[in-house]
Amino acid sequence: MNTKLKFLGLLAIIPVFTVALTSNYMASALSSYENPDNHLTAQYKQGLVCGNKLCSQVTKTKQANMTMQEKMTNKESSMMNGTMMKKESSMMKQNIDPPRKQMKLGAMMHDIKCKEGLELVFNARSWSPACVKPSTAQTLMQHGWAASQEETMKMMKDNTMHEKDSMMKDKSMMEKEGSMMKEKSMMTKTVGKIDISMASPVEGSLDTAVTIIEFGDYQCPKCDDWFKNQKPTVASNFIDTNKVKLYFVDFPFLGSDSQLASEATYCADEQGKYWKYHSALYTNQGSIQSGWASPAALKQFAADLGLDKAQFNDCLDSGKYSDRVSYNKQVGISNGVEGTPTFFIVGPDGTTEKIVGPQPASVFSETIEKMLS
């Protein structure tokens, strides 16, 4: 009886023991499933080797890699530390503020320091210091910079004197220009709205009510046509009868000989023969730029009129009336003259009529009579 009970009790314990073993096995299996290397990790950490060749090889490789990484890390760390130490050493050596900051902190000009390899220079105008490379310093010293405080002061003194001289010269020039402008304003003479202050001497009486202003070029064939075929009628009917006066204004646009011929008329005017020389040019007119109005020819015309050769020749060679002729041409441009001959007939009340080209004398007569009525 007792034996049976013991046997039955043993049978009851076996399932429980089996279940316990099974549970432990399952827990271990699950743990291995979640992290298959868990059973190797401890061995890796302890430097153990698994029970097969593959595991042994993997473990050795990992250990080798870890050793290499540690060596690389140590080497890089050593290099970085060395570099940092060098940089810190360099910074300690070069810990110098820029020149301007040194001055703000109270340093005098002669106490300013530059970093190694740089030179101190000063701007002679502003006294501003700068630390630059030697090659740059050489260039700057050629453009108003100095290498010392004493030299800077000397250059500043020289610059101050130069600026004062320049200011005095500028003031003098401004006063002179102002005086010239004032004189020009006083000398400017207009008829209607046309500036004739640099034009020819008047032809006719100054007291006439009507004025003809002619813009012409001595090489212009149409000007020559009007001079020879229409002007005589206008002159006899109006200029010679003291009804109209005429001014000739240079408008040279057909070449350099046109400019020179105009200048020659004012050289003749110095000897009181402007209008005779004016007539001689049109009387002897040749082809444009053919040489008929060359310097030699112009001098010969003056000689033929009995002018003083030396005076005339010196005047023409000097070009003293070049600006006057250019001024007259600009007057024409500002009044819309585009070619020659161009005429402006100005009445007693300033009314102006424009006639373009060598128009018949009848056109001039009609316009003049209307202004006189």
Report pLDDT digits (tens) over 303-335. 999 999 999 999 999 999 999 999 999 999 999
Banded pLDDT at 83 (limits 50, 70, 90): very low
Q: Mean pLDDT over residues 26-37, rounded?
A: 44
Q: Mean pLDDT over residues 151-158, rounded?
A: 59
Q: Which fold has domain 191-372?
A: Glutaredoxin (3.40.30)
Measured between alpha carbons, how far is residue 372 from residues 179, 181, 207, 246 in Å?
40, 36, 14, 16
Among the listed ranges 159-173, 238-252, 358-372, which one has the minimum average pLDDT value? 159-173
Instruction: Give, to the nearest 10 degrees, the angle between helix 38-46 and helix 53-93.
Output: 60
Among the listed ranges 28-37, 130-139, 151-160, which one has the minimum average pLDDT value? 28-37
> For 73, how many CA atoms within 13 A lie in the half-sphere containing its CB?
6
Residue 95 near residue 106 (C-beta atoms within 8 A): no
Give the C-alpha separation, 134 to 29, whole Å: 79
Most confident of 34-43, 173-182, 287-296: 287-296
The rounded percent of the chain whose pLDDT value lies above 70 is: 62
- Note the pLDDT tens digit of each residue in 262-273: 999 999 999 999
CB under 8 Å to 276, separation ≥6 — which residues?
Answer: 268, 305
E strands present in the chain: 119-123, 129-132, 145-146, 190-191, 194-195, 210-216, 244-250, 342-346, 352-356
CB under 8 Å to 212, separation ≥6 — which residues?
Answer: 234, 244, 245, 246, 247, 343, 344, 345, 346, 364
Give the C-alpha separation, 146 to 138, whole Å: 10
- Note the pLDDT tens digit of each residue in 165-217: 666 666 666 666 555 554 444 467 899 899 999 999 999 999 999 999 999 99
CA 110, chain centre distance (Å): 39
Q: Quick one: CA dihedral 11, 17, 19, 21, positive or negative? A: negative
Say if residue 45's pLDDT is above 50: no
Q: Of residues 353 and 15, which shows the higher confidence score?
A: 353
Residue 237 near residue 282 (C-beta atoms within 8 A): no
Q: Of residues 232 and 45, which shows the higher confidence score?
A: 232
Give one DSSP letter per residue of 152-187, joined into a string. HHHHHHHHHHHHHHHHHHHHHHHHHHHHHHHHHHHH
Q: Mean pLDDT over residues 10-22, rounded?
A: 48
Q: Quick one: CA dihedral 222, 227, 232, 237, positive or negative? A: positive
Q: Of residues 20 and 279, which shows the higher confidence score?
A: 279
Report pLDDT for 237.
97
Report pLDDT for 294.
97
Q: Give residue for tokens 């009044």.
A: 335
Q: Quick one: CA dihedral 207, 208, 209, 213, positive or negative? A: negative
Q: Of residues 332 and 44, which shows the higher confidence score?
A: 332
Say if residue 39's pLDDT is above 70: no
SS3 305: coil
Give the C-alpha separation, 181 to 169, whole Å: 18
Say if residue 301's pLDDT is above 90: yes
Say if residue 117's pLDDT is above 60: yes
Banded pLDDT at 126 (limits 50, 70, 90): low
DSSP secondary structure letter of residue 237: I
| Burial (CB count within 10 angstroms: exposed 0-12, middle 13-18, buried 19+), residue 363 | middle
Q: Of residues 192 and 15, which shows the higher confidence score?
A: 192
The rounded percent of the chain whose pLDDT value lies above 90 is: 49
Spans of all domains in the chain: 104-152, 191-372
